[in-house]
Amino acid sequence: MATWRKLAIGALKIAGVTGIAVSLRRNARDPLRLLALLGLSWLPPCMEQAGKPG
């Protein structure tokens, strides 16, 4: 589990996210956000209108 958390933190840092704790909580509620950040998934149209993940 620590490996996945470190992967998520590293991906957020590479993406330039400054609020890591806030972003981790947001991604815990909606894992599709992190997958989209990694380029492994797409965001549904309703989420694209709300803004980019992270």
Say if CB 35 and CB 41 are below 8 A apart. yes
For residues 39-51, average pLDDT: 63
Alpha-carbon span 26 to 17, nearest angstrom = 12
For residues 42-50, average pLDDT: 60
Examine the pLDDT at 46 and tell me if it is beyond 70.
no
What does pTM read for this prediction? Answer: 0.60
- Name, in order, each residue with C-beta under 8 angstroms of 24's C-beta and a sequence gap of 6 or more: 5, 8, 9, 12
Residues 10-30 have pLDDT tens digits of: 988 988 888 999 988 888 888
